[in-house]
Amino acid sequence: MANKISDETIEYVGILAKLELSGQEKEDAKADMEKMLDYIDTLNELDTEGIEPMSHVFPVHNVFREDVVVNGDGSEDTLANAPLKKDQSFKVPKTIG
């Protein structure tokens, strides 16, 4: 089955992925994704009825610990790589009108 990715879908995926694609990039991405999905569709040959999705190879369970503070004030480290900062905060463009 040949997958067809519409302009709307690629636009929507671009929003989810937070990527701004040029006209040519969008066309390339459509073609790429169609090819990949055709290939991924081979998985449909497999009967996976009743098989639990395996997100981890080993049984993992929550790791609990006592809620004890072990680190100090890390604000300087946290901000050390910020492209822009102001008053001990990350500086970002205005988000509320």
Partner 1 sequence: MDITSLTAVELGKKIKAKEISVMDAVKASIAQIEKVEKDVHSFVTVDKEGALKRAEEVQKQIDDGILTGPLAGVPVAIKDNMCTKGMLTTCSSKILENFRPTFTSEAVLNLEKAGAVIIGKTNMDEFAMGSTTETSYYGATKNPWNLEHVPGGSSGGSCAAVAAEECPYALGSDTGGSIRQPSSFCGVVGIKPTYGTVSRYGLVAYGSSLDQIGPIAKDVTDCATILETIASYDTKDSTSIARETYNFTSALKNDVKGMKIGIPRSYFGDGLDAEVREPILNAVKVLEEKGAIVEEFDLNLVKYAIPAYYVIASAEASSNLARFDGVKYGYRTETYEGLHNMYKKTRSEGFGPEVKRRIMLGSFVLSSGYYDAYYLKALRTKALIKQEFDRAFEKYDVIIAPAAPTTAPEIGKSLSDPIQMYLGDIYTISVNLAGLPGITIPVGKDTKGLPVGMQIIGNCFEENKIIRAAYTFEQTKTYERPEIAKEAR
Binding partner 1 (rule: CB under 8 A), the pick from 2, 60, 68, 69 is 60
Examine residue 65 and tell whether it contacts partner 1 (CB under 8 A): yes
Q: How far is CA 97 from the centre of its chain?
A: 27
Neighbours of 30 (CB within 10 A): 19
Return the residue of 1, 2, 8, 46 that touches partner 1, per CB under 8 A: 46
How many chain residues bind partner 1 (CB under 8 A)?
A: 49
Query: Is 95 a binder of partner 1 (CB under 8 A)?
Result: yes
Cβ partners under 8 Å of residue 21, min gap 6: 10, 14, 29
- Phi then psi for residue 85, to 5 deg, are -140, 160
The distance of closest approach from Cβ of residue 67 to partner 1 in the complex, given in angstroms and rounded to an integer, is: 13
Is residue 94 involved in binding partner 1 (CB under 8 A)?
yes
- Contact mark string toward partner 1, 8..37, x via CB under 8 A: -x--xxx-xxxxxx---x---x--xx-xxx
What six digits make up the tokens of 92?
């970002």
- Cα separation of 46 and 37, whole Å? 16
